[in-house]
């Protein structure tokens, strides 16, 4: 069996992304896997996983737009901006009208400040590591784009104020939904943290095609609250227990699904990843490419100067086997990223 491919995996709440990859490793009998974007342990949803020699691709499949469903709890803010953190601020609950008005403000591009509890590096160290040591971590704002922000469900308290809201987002690369929840709450005079997060789409890849989809497909305010309470209880008993991997019938079924759904990296899958497909024109071109000779139009029988700048190009052999990736950068220069010698 060819284990070089792409696997769509549905991660459950309570597992780190690294731990969730155990199913892929066991199903395929391999060690080398790489995901194209993590999900926090409190979150669930789609992981796009590169396996075998295609782990080299993982770092280049991160520039995708993503879709999320977020359950936001209003009235309190935590240091991590999600439910496992410590409460740092309280504020009044918003009305439905205030929430609707605030959400409308966040469609488009804005300068977002990422959470301090994140993997972003500050002075060479992760911001989260600095904060845990009691040091300050100032993260500059970054421009992100919110293509869609739609309120799908609201739960109110007895006074008619919004206690929970499920909001569906489509966002650009680099957007933190935790920060978006914080900013929306601030805009309606409240405070908030994430009670649940569900990633449903990465680029053109969708959660419905993922191994394990049945175990994560139900996502409402109520299911998010149930998951939150369950995980918080597990953390009280043992802060590591809730992240451990345990093999059971569900894991066995997911591993069987992985074997069925692994995608060979052909031209169709390459296009789904947003790459431009190019085929080496003959055996001589393949040998030149393997030997590290400069990327040039003659290797492919096509004018590479016509490619748009900032293009990522997937290279296929004359018999349509993926064998490498190169880029045309912002200055129009061609640069080889990696070659897989078959």
Q: Which residues are catalytic?
A: 40
Whether the CB-CB separation of 12 and 165 falls below 8 Å is answered with: no
Residue whose C-alpha is closest to residue 312's, from 284, 283, 338:
338
How does strand 76-78 pair with strand 192-202?
A: unpaired
CA dist 8 and 37 (Å) reads 12
Whether the CB-CB separation of 279 and 316 falls below 8 Å is answered with: yes
CA dist 73 and 206 (Å) reads 26
Pair of tokens at residue 249: 């019938």
Provide the Cα torsion 125, 131, 134, 136; round to 10°: 80
> Which residue's entry shows tokens 């709890």?
73
Orientation angle between helical segments 96-104 and 177-187, nearest 10 degrees? 120
């Amino acid at each position: 069996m060819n284990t070089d491919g792409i696997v769509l995996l549905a991660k459950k709440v309570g597992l780190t992304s690294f731990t969730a990859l155990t199913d892929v490793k066991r199903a395929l009998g391999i060690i080398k896997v790489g995901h194209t974007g993590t999900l926090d342990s409190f979150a669930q949803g789609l992981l796009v996983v590169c396996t075998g020699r295609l782990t080299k691709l993982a770092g280049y499949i991160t520039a995708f737009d993503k879709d999320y469903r977020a359950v936001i709890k209003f009235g309190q803010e935590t240091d991590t901006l999600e439910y496992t953190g410590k409460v740092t601020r309280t504020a009044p609950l918003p009305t439905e009208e205030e929430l609707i008005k605030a959400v409308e403000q966040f469609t488009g591009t804005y300068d977002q400040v990422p959470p301090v509890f994140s993997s972003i590096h500050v002075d060479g160290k992760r911001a989260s590591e600095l904060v845990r040591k009691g040091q300050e971590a100032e993260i500059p704002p970054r421009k992100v784009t919110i293509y869609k922000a739609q309120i799908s469900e609201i739960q109110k308290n007895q006074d008619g104020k919004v206690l929970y809201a499920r909001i569906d987002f489509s966002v650009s690369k680099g957007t933190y939904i935790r920060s978006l929840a914080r900013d929306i709450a601030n805009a309606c005079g409240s405070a908030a943290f994430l009670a649940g997060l569900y990633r449903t789409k990465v680029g053109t890849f969708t959660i419905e095609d993922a191994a394990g989809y049945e175990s994560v497909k139900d996502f409402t305010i109520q299911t998010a609250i149930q998951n939150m309470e369950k995980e918080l209880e597990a953390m009280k008993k043992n802060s590591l227990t809730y992240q451990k991997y345990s093999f059971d019938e569900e894991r066995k079924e997911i591993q069987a699904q992985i074997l069925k759904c692994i995608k060979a990296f052909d031209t169709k899958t390459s296009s789904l990843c947003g790459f431009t497909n190019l085929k080496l024109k003959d055996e001589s071109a393949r040998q030149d490419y393997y030997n590290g000779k400069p990327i040039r139009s003659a290797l492919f029988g096509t004018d590479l100067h016509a490619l748009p700048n900032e293009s990522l190009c997937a290279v296929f052999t004359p018999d349509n086997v993926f064998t490498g990736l190169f880029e045309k950068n912002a200055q129009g220069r061609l640069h080889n990223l990696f070659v897989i010698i078959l």
